[in-house]
C-alpha cells in the first residue's frame, strides 16, 4: 500500500503534463506518505518477528539458557561475564565450550581455537540462510550485522516461518526475532545465574537435555529434502563416533563426511525416481 | 586477566570473534549461492550434519549437570523422545516433553535420588 502511493502520483504527473505547483506538492506529499507507509510496514514485520519469540523453539531455547546460567555459576564466571557471553557470542554450544575453557584456565589462544572449531557449523548455516533472507538489493552490511543472530534456533525458526513472509520483509522480520530472542536470553542467563543455587542437579541436567532433544526434533521437522534427513542421521552418529576415537577437528569431519554422504544419497534416491 | 576488562576482552576475542568470523564468511559465501542450486543443497547438508554432530556429542558426552545422568538413561530418553515425536506426527513439543519425562523418571528411579 505504501509503495503504491508514489506510483499513483507519478501516473497523475505523467497524464497531466502540466507540472503545476499544487501537483508538485501533491507529488511530494505522496512521496512522504509512501516513505512513512514503508516505515510502518517495516515496523509491523519487525513486530511480527518479535512475536515469533512466543513459539516452541524460542521457549525451549530459554529453557536451555537456564541451564547455561547455572553452568556459568558452577564454573566460577561472574554475572556480567555470563550475560556478556550470551549477548556477544550467541551460540550455545560454543558458549559451553568457552565456559569450559575458562573454567580449566586455558589461555586466550587455546580457548579461541576450541571455540573457532566448535563454531564452524555457523559458516554453512549462514551461507544457506543468506538466500533465504536477502531480497533484491539487500545491502551486504545488513546481512553481516544480522548474521550475528544466526544460531540453531533462529536458523530453524527462519526456515520454518520466513518462506511465508514476503521476500522484501524477511530481513526485518528475522531482525525482530533475533534481537528479541537474544535480549530475553541475556535476562534468562542473569536470572538463572542468580537463582542457580536453588536448582536441584537433576533439574539442571534436564534443562541441559532440552537443547539436544529440541535440535534433533526441530531439524527433523523442518527438513524438506532427503539430503537433510540423511545428514541429520549421519551427523548424530558420526559426531560421537569420531569424538570417541579422539579424532581432532571431529566436528568438522563429521559435518563434511556426513553432509557429503547425505548429498550423494539424495542424488542416488532422485536418480531412482524417488519423491523429494 | 586481573584487570576488570580482561575477562571481557577474553570473551570478545575467544568467543565473539571466533564465532562471528564464520558467520561473516558464511554471508560472503552465501551471496554467491542460488536458492535452488545443488551447491546450496550440499552446503545445507554439511551444516545439518555439523549441527547433528553437536547434538550427538551433547547427548553422548555432555558437560555440567547432565554428565551426572548415566549414558544409558540419556540415550534411552533421547530415543523415547524421538519415537514420541514421530508417533505424534512430528510434533516437536511432544517429543521434547516425552524425552524430558523419560530422563527425569529414569534418573530419579535408578539414581535413587
Q: Please name the residue that has the C-alpha cell 537456564.
A: A66
Longest dimension (CA), chain A: 81
Q: Please name the residue that has the C-alpha cell 531439524.
A: A219
Q: Which residues 5-44 of chain A have a CB within 8 Å of chain B? A: none
Instruction: From A132, A117, A140, select the one nearest A248 (Cα to Cα).
Output: A117
The DSSP element (H or E) to which B11 belongs, if any, is helix B6-11
* Residue B4 buriedness (CB in 10 A; 0-12 / 13-18 / 19+): exposed
For residues A91 and A95, give the distance between their C-alpha atoms in angstroms, rounded to a whole number: 6
A:B CB pairs within 8 Å: 338
CA A44 to chain B, closest CA, distance in angstroms equals 26
Q: Do B100 and A209 touch (CB under 8 A)?
A: yes
Q: Residue B81: what pLDDT?
A: 96
Cell numbers for A133, please give them: 533472507
Of the partner residues A70, A148, A152, the one whose CB lies closest to the CB of residue B20: A148
Q: Do A259 and B46 touch (CB under 8 A)?
A: yes
Query: B36 pLDDT exceeds 90?
Result: no
Q: Is A215 touching B (CB cutoff 8 A)?
A: yes
Q: Say which range, A33-42, B12-21, B33-42, has the weakest mean pLDDT.
A: A33-42
Residue A148 to residues A21, A142, A185, Cα–Cα distance (Å) = 48, 11, 15
Q: Do B19 and A119 touch (CB under 8 A)?
A: yes
For residues B103 and A212, give the distance between their C-alpha atoms in angstroms, rounded to a whole number: 13
Q: Do B15 and A98 touch (CB under 8 A)?
A: yes
Q: Which residues 108-167 of chain A have a CB within 8 Å of chain B? A: 108, 111-112, 115-116, 118-132, 134, 140, 143-144, 147-148, 150, 152
Q: Do A231 and B19 touch (CB under 8 A)?
A: no
* ipTM passes above 0.85: no
Long-range contacts of A244-248 (CB under 8 A, 24+ apart): A244/B60, A244/B61
**What number of residues does chain B have?**
113
Instruction: From B31, B6, B14, B65, select the one nearest A118 (Cα to Cα).
Output: B14
Q: Which residue of A has its CA nearest to B53?
A: A239
Of the partner residues B14, B43, B59, the one whose CB lies closest to the CB of residue A127: B43
User: Within a 10 A sphere around the Cβ of A78, how many other Cβ atoms?
Assistant: 14
Contacts of A223 in chain B (CB under 8 A): 48
Q: Which residues of chain A have pLDDT under 50?
A: 1-18, 275-276
CA angle, residues A119, A124, A128, in degrees to nearest 5? 135
3-state secondary structure B25-80: HHHHHHCCCCCCCHHHHHHHHHHHHHHHHHHHHHHHCCCHHHHHCCHHHHHHHHHH
Q: Do B10 and A263 touch (CB under 8 A)?
A: no
Cell numbers for A250, please give them: 571431529
- pLDDT tens-place string over residues B45-94: 888 888 888 788 889 888 777 888 899 999 999 999 999 999 999 888 89
Amino acid at each position: 500500500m505504501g509503495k503504491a502511493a508514489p506510483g499513483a502520483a507519478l501516473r497523475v504527473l505523467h497524464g497531466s503534463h502540466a507540472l503545476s505547483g499544487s501537483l508538485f506538492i501533491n507529488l511530494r506529499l505522496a512521496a512522504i506518505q509512501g516513505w512513512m507507509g514503508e516505515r510502518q510496514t517495516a515496523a509491523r514485520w519487525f513486530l511480527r518477528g518479535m512475536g515469533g519469540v512466543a513459539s516452541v523453539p524460542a521457549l525451549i531455547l530459554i529453557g536451555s539458557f537456564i541451564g547455561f546460567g547455572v553452568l556459568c555459576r558452577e564454573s566460577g564466571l561472574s554475572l556480567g561475564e555470563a550475560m556478556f557471553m550470551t549477548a556477544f557470542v550467541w551460540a550455545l554450544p560454543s558458549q559451553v565450550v568457552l565456559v569450559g575453557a575458562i573454567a580449566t584456565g586455558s589461555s586466550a589462544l587455546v580457548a579461541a581455537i576450541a571455540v573457532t572449531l566448535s563454531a564452524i557449523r555457523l559458516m554453512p548455516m549462514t551461507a544457506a540462510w543468506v538466500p533465504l533472507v536477502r531480497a533484491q538489493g539487500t545491502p551486504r552490511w545488513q546481512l553481516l550485522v544480522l548474521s550475528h543472530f544466526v544460531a540453531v534456533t533462529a536458523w530453524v525458526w527462519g526456515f520454518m516461518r520466513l518462506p511465508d513472509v514476503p521476500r522484501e520483509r524477511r530481513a526485518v522480520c528475522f531482525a525482530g526475532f533475533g534481537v528479541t530472542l537474544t535480549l530475553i536470553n541475556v535476562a534468562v542467563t542473569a536470572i538463572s545465574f542468580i537463582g542457580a543455587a536453588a536448582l536441584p542437579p537433576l533439574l539442571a541436567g534436564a534443562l541441559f537435555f532440552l537443547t539436544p532433544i529440541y535440535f534433533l526434533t526441530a531439524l527433523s521437522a523442518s527438513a524438506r529434502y532427503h539430503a537433510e534427513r540423511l545428514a541429520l542421521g549421519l551427523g548424530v552418529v558420526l559426531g560421537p563416533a569420531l569424538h570417541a576415537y579422539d579424532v581432532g577437528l571431529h566436528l568438522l569431519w563429521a559435518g563434511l563426511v556426513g553432509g557429503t554422504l547425505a548429498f550423494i544419497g539424495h542424488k542416488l534416491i532422485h536418480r531412482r525416481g524417488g519423491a523429494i | 586477566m586481573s584487570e576488570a576488562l580482561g575477562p571481557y576482552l577474553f570473551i570478545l576475542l575467544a568467543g565473539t570473534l571466533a564465532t562471528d568470523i564464520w558467520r561473516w564468511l558464511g554471508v560472503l559465501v552465501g551471496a554467491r549461492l542460488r536458492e535452488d542450486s545443488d551447491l546450496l543443497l550440499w552446503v545445507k547438508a554439511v551444516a545439518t550434519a555439523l549441527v547433528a554432530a553437536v547434538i550427538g556429542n551433547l547427548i553422548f558426552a555432555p558437560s555440567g549437570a547432565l554428565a551426572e545422568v548415566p549414558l544409558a538413561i540419556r540415550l534411552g530418553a533421547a530415543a523415547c523422545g524421538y519415537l514420541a515425536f514421530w508417533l505424534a506426527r512430528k510434533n516437536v513439543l511432544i517429543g521434547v516433553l516425552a524425552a524430558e519425562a523419560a530422563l527425569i523418571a529414569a534418573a530419579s528411579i535408578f539414581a535413587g535420588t
